[in-house]
Structure 1
Amino acid sequence: MQEILIIDFGSQYTQLIARRVRELNVYCEIHPFNKIPEITENIKGIILSGSPSSVMEEGSPTLDLNQFRGKLPLLGVCFGAQLLAKEFGGLVEKSDSREYGRAHLNSLVPNDKLLKGIPAKSQVWMSHGDTITRLPEGAILTASTESVRNAAYTFEGEETYCIQFHPEVTHSTDGKKMLENFVVDICGCDQSYTPESFVESTVAELKAQLGQDKVVMGLSGGVDSSVAALLIHKAIGENLYCIFVDNGLLRKNEFEQVLESYKGLGLNVKGVDAKDRFYAALKGLTDPEAKRKAIGKTFIDVFDDEAHLIQDVKWLGQGTIYPDIIESVSVKGPSVTIKSHHNVGGLPDYMKLKVVEPLKLLFKDGVRQVGRSMGMPDHLINRHPFPGPGLGIRILGDITPEKVAILQNVDHIFIQGLKDKGLYDSIWQAGAILLPVQSVGVMGDERTYENVVALRAVTSVDGMTADWAHLPYEFLGEVSNQIINKVKGVNRVVYDISSKPPATIEWE
């Protein structure tokens, strides 16, 4: 399969480059600058990412660019362009002022392959503190901006292109066209990496990998585990055993609804009601990490009990996706733990199962496209992400069945309201949080002292950053009235207007 190799120097935008290339139906992989794979004939071109580092810093990321230059098409983005300049005789210096934000291209060279079809004054996004003040030997200037003379350049007689801006972000209005020029026209990729081709090749690989072996898989109702299960099911049919655990922390009626959806897809699914085991494990716990660990351990215990009822299981199916893989081998290593991962991780070593991960090369949007191509219903495909510990981390403080019931009813009114008003699909994630706070209220002629709930809704591309959703005031007012009137025990509703960063999407 044809491939573009993206060499990561630590930029926050590196995954975005990969997603833009994938949107062109071209396969690509991200590898850190210090762990570059063997260059095979399948690799048709290389993109050098940006970086938070400066090429002038001692110990900044670097590599031998002679192994690629002139042998394969090469695109240096921001730091990548500055590294190419520095390594081949150009000069990179500190800018007088940080060049950050929107800029407009001018002085475009008309015959440059990378800039083909890009109009004059095209908006691009700058994000750097250094600038290239002298081009390397053999380089030709191809574009400037108002404040950056050497905004784009190429090396004469070879397919090496350099730009000091970020074409992968939406603020660069013609950035996708530039990437298409590089990937399709310059590298010659045939754009055959489609959801349909992924399903075909993945099912064939799974058949070869699994044969007649049995696979057990824990389902969550989310899009990742659902699509992974459907792919494995296409390969081995009834030899896939799915387990869907009701931990007592799901959304209202979710256990029954999701089970029904899975049966409609022909999956071999067993529903397990383990609410009481989870409530017992959580009794008296208030610390978020302690709650997470209790939920995770109980899930493993329940899953282990159920898996042992199936004879001769050899594989564990998981819905791991590409960002999880990238994170574990990133330039800086795994990110600092802010909190335990929302989703329950792998099972303990004593289960002795091999792992199969059919989605490990896909981004979240790619997972959705694959699911859609297999006929998965929209209510599963478009389902908002939901944390593995469920409402356990949306109830601040200790967990009781009574608190869960209150939050389920609040959450149901909010989510159903978003769906009824046509707002649900424009939101990345939404939910309600039960606060450990009581407030004074008046209902009828009586004074009340009841619970406060917070509503949370965010917009995002991948969950790595998120903005609070600017929901209509009329909608928020209507939902607040419904919650207070219909959910006994709640007399105040607030709306969370924090973005990520600095806040996280979940409260715990």
Structure 2
Amino acid sequence: MDERSFALGPGDGEVAAWIEAAVREIRRAIGEGRALIALSGGVDSAVAAALVHRAIGDRLQGVFVDHGLLRKGEKEEVLAALRDGLGLAVEAVDASERFLQALAGVSDPEEKRRRIGRLFIDVFEEAAQRLGPFDVLVQGTIAPDVTESGHGGGRLVKSHHNVGGLPASMRFRLVEPLRALYKDDVRRVGRALGLPEAILGRHPFPGPGLAVRVLGPVTAERLSVLREADARFLEEIRRAGLYGEIWQAFCVLLDSRSVGIGPDGGRRLGHTIALRAITSRDATTADIYPLPPELVRRVVQRIIAEVPDVVRVVWDVTPKPPATIEWE
């Protein structure tokens, strides 16, 4: 789609006018055919779905892929929000074993993203054959995805799987109605479309999921450790009433073992978890959220006590730049 058609102004009237223009452009781009949309449960894909659904109605079919790289309980939460909150037809596909096999032995972050992107398209093409025919694939790609992937005049920071991971032989035509927007404007569009806060208020989650938060090789065991640690971090943030104040909070599993002290007082070699909590407006820059010391203490105590084989927890306090929000 023509990015020049998607220049969003600051006021509510500009948002309404932008939505009207976007709906017209989506109808022109899709024509009379049917469209398939990749739904992750995140803000971007949900807003893209609501926008395209307004344009073409029940000719839009959602597909949610469980790639086995989700947070704890996320599949059930996401499907309920998408089906009940958006009223969309959503097909759930369990491809977790395929993604784990594709990532086996892969440590390089860029290669992880490329493999995930290619396999996503394979899964959607299979879904299209089963549910279709479909001419168009809708994605919730936004401006930082494009620029950080080295497109549109940006310098490569990291390849987002929905940009740098797409195969040249892909049979779909792409429609990306949010491609020129940043996260804050995506949320404004979503509110104007009437999406529930349960969707709009979710912290951003990378398309490659926990694969880029498990540093080094991705295995079922390492994913389980990260998933359990992350769940406790978010539980304590919600319990403290801080979830809505933080742009993004998550755990990272480091790719090196650390020496700790076991319950018997002896040497124990285990995992290291990093905590990250940031504030941002549009994800192009980010600052550290000042987590209260008592909250950090509770999180560390719970992770060490409740997550097997974790012996050390550290807190990442690096802003963007020089760091990126995600570690990979």
Q: Does the pair score TM above 0.5?
A: yes
Choose the corresponding residue for 1:283, options 104, 107, 132: 104
Partner of 2:269: 449
Q: Structure 1 residues 24, 493: closer, same or farther in 2, change over 3 A?
A: same
Partner of 1:463: 283
Cα drift, residue 317 of structure 1: 1.1
Asked if 1:305 is matched to 2:126, the reply is yes
SS at match of 1:450: strand
Which residues of 2 match residues 398-413 of structure 1 at below 5 A?
Answer: 398-413=217-232
| Kept after mapping to 2: 8 A contact 1:344/1:388 | no
Structure 1, residues 478-506: CA drift from partner, whole Å, max 9, x if none? 11111111111112111011112222222
Asked if 1:244 is matched to 2:64, the reply is yes
Provide the C-alpha distance between the structure 2 equivalents of 1:472 and 1:255, rounded to a whole number of angstroms.
Answer: 30
Structure 1, residues 412-451: CA drift from partner, whole Å, max 9, x if none? 1112222221212222222111112222333432432211
Provide the C-alpha distance between the structure 2 equivalents of 1:345 and 1:502, rounded to a whole number of angstroms.
Answer: 22
Q: Structure 1 residues 339, 471: closer, same or farther in 2, change over 3 A?
A: same
Provide the C-alpha distance between the structure 2 equivalents of 1:209 and 1:343, rounded to a whole number of angstroms.
Answer: 19
**If each structure's strand is expressed as a fraction of its own residues, which one has the higher value?**
1
Choose the corresponding residue for 2:189, options 351, 370, 377: 370
- Code of the aligned partner of 1:259: L
Provide the C-alpha distance between the structure 1 equivalents of 2:37 and 2:231, rounded to a whole number of angstroms.
Answer: 28
Give the stretch that moved more between structures: 200-209 or 391-400: 200-209
Partner of 2:255: 436
SS at match of 1:338: coil
Partner of 2:78: 258
Choose the corresponding residue for 1:475, options 263, 274, 295: 295
Asked if 1:503 is matched to 2:301, the reply is no
Structure 1: runs of 5 or more not aligned: 6-17, 26-191
Provide the C-alpha distance between the structure 2 equivalents of 1:280 and 1:326, rounded to a whole number of angstroms.
Answer: 30
Structure 1, residues 197-225: CA drift from partner, whole Å, max 9, x if none? 43344335434554531001111211111
- Code of the aligned partner of 1:275: S
SS at match of 1:303: helix
Partner of 1:487: 307
Partner of 1:227: 47
Asked if 1:420 is matched to 2:255, the reply is no
Provide the C-alpha distance between the structure 1 equivalents of 2:205 and 2:220, rounded to a whole number of angstroms.
Answer: 19
- Code of the aligned partner of 1:357: E
SS at match of 2:258: strand
Q: Structure 1 residues 500, 325: closer, same or farther in 2, change over 3 A?
A: closer
Structure 1, residues 142-176: CA drift from partner, whole Å, max 9, x if none? xxxxxxxxxxxxxxxxxxxxxxxxxxxxxxxxxxx
Provide the C-alpha distance between the structure 2 equivalents of 1:491 and 1:322, rounded to a whole number of angstroms.
Answer: 39
Q: What TM-score do you get using the length of structure 1 for normalisation?
A: 0.59
Q: Structure 1 residues 389, 327: closer, same or farther in 2, change over 3 A?
A: closer
Provide the C-alpha distance between the structure 2 equivalents of 1:454 and 1:351, rounded to a whole number of angstroms.
Answer: 37
Asked if 1:315 is matched to 2:136, the reply is yes
- Code of the aligned partner of 2:224: A
Structure 1, residues 313-334: CA drift from partner, whole Å, max 9, x if none? 121212233556778999xx62
Q: What TM-score do you get using the length of structure 2 for normalisation?
A: 0.89
Q: Structure 1 residues 253, 478: closer, same or farther in 2, change over 3 A?
A: same
SS at match of 1:340: coil
Provide the C-alpha distance between the structure 2 equivalents of 1:329 and 1:431, rounded to a whole number of angstroms.
Answer: 25
SS at match of 2:135: strand
Q: Structure 1 residues 505, 205: closer, same or farther in 2, change over 3 A?
A: closer
* Count of paired positions: 321
SS at match of 1:221: coil
Q: Structure 1 residues 485, 324: closer, same or farther in 2, change over 3 A?
A: closer
Choose the corresponding residue for 2:176, options 357, 370, 379: 357
Give the stretch that moved more between structures: 318-327 or 247-256: 318-327
Choose the corresponding residue for 2:32, options 208, 212, 230: 212
Provide the C-alpha distance between the structure 2 equivalents of 1:346 and 1:237, rounded to a whole number of angstroms.
Answer: 29
Q: Structure 1 residues 440, 352: closer, same or farther in 2, change over 3 A?
A: closer
Give the stretch that moved more between structures: 401-410 or 429-438: 429-438
Provide the C-alpha distance between the structure 2 equivalents of 1:383 and 1:389, rounded to a whole number of angstroms.
Answer: 17
Partner of 1:29: none
SS at match of 1:23: coil
Asked if 1:23 is matched to 2:10, the reply is yes
**If each structure's helix is expressed as a fraction of its own residues, which one has the higher value?**
2
SS at match of 1:308: helix
| Kept after mapping to 1: 8 A contact 2:247/2:279 | yes
Choose the corresponding residue for 1:202, options 19, 22, 27: 22
Which residues of 2 match residues 85-96 of structure 1 at below 5 A?
Answer: none
Provide the C-alpha distance between the structure 2 equivalents of 1:507 and 1:328, rounded to a whole number of angstroms.
Answer: 15
| Kept after mapping to 1: 8 A contact 2:148/2:156 | no
Q: Structure 1 residues 322, 337: closer, same or farther in 2, change over 3 A?
A: closer
Q: How much is the aligned-residue C-alpha RMSD, in angstroms?
A: 2.5
Q: Structure 1 residues 224, 347: closer, same or farther in 2, change over 3 A?
A: same
Cα drift, residue 298 of structure 1: 1.9
SS at match of 1:404: helix
SS at match of 2:131: coil
